[in-house]
Amino acid sequence: MPPEAKRGSVRDITIVGEEVLGRPCREVTEFGTPELSALIDDMFLTMHVADGAGLAANQIGIGLRLFVYDCPDDHGIRHVGHIINPVLDLPGPDSRRLIDDLEGCLSVPGATMTVPRTDHTIARGFDKDGGPLVIEGTGYFARCLQHETDRLAGHTYLDRLSTRDRKDALRQMQDRQEDVFAQRANKAARLNR
C-alpha cells in the first residue's frame, strides 16, 4: 500500500451516469494546502480498497483536474504517484502505435471491454506543491494515463466504444456490480480492524 493510502480515508466511488463524471473538471489553482494533501491521501486509499490502477478526483465526487495512480508498465515496473492539471503529449500519426486491450473502470464496476490506446504517452502537470511533473508512460501505464486524463475531461472509456459494446459493458456492470461493491466493502472493513 502506498504511504499516502495509510493516511487516507475511504470515499464513495461515483458510478457512470452521475453528473460529476460527465463534465470537465476544473483546474486546480491552489497548491500546497492541507486539503489538497488530504484529498490525495483519500484518493490513494479509495483506489487501493477498490483494487484500481488509477483514480480521478471526480470519481469521488470532486470536480478537480487531479488523479492518482499505482500502476505497472509492461516491464513490471510499478509507477505510483499523482498529477494535477495533466496535459497529454500523444505520439503523432506517423509514430503512433495503437494497442487493443481490455480496460475497466472503478466507476463502471465489473465491466471490461477492449479499447484502443497508444502504447506511449507523456503527461505534463504539477505535483501537490505546484512543482512541474513530466511522466512518461508505456504499455499499460500509458493506457492508465490516457484513461484518467479522459476522465478529467468528462469522458469514460465507454465513450470510446460502439453503441453495441457500450450496451454490453453496461450489462456486465449490471450483472457484476453488487459483487464488486461487496468486495470493496470487505476490503475496507479488513483495513479498519
Catalytic residue positions, numbered: 148
Q: What is the DSSP string of 174-187?
A: HHHHHHHHHHHHHH
Q: Which residues pair with 125 in a beta bridge?
A: 133
b/e burial code for range 54-66 (CB count within 10 A of at least 16 → b): bbbbbbbebbbbb
Residue 44 and residue 4: Cα distance in Å, rounded? 6
b/e burial code for range 122-154 (CB count within 10 A of at least 16 → b): ebebbebeeeeeebebbbbbbbbbbbbbbbbeb
Q: Which stretch of DSSP H or E encloses residue 60? A: none
Cβ partners under 8 Å of residue 85, min gap 6 = 27, 28, 65, 66, 125, 126
Per the document, the length of the chain is: 193
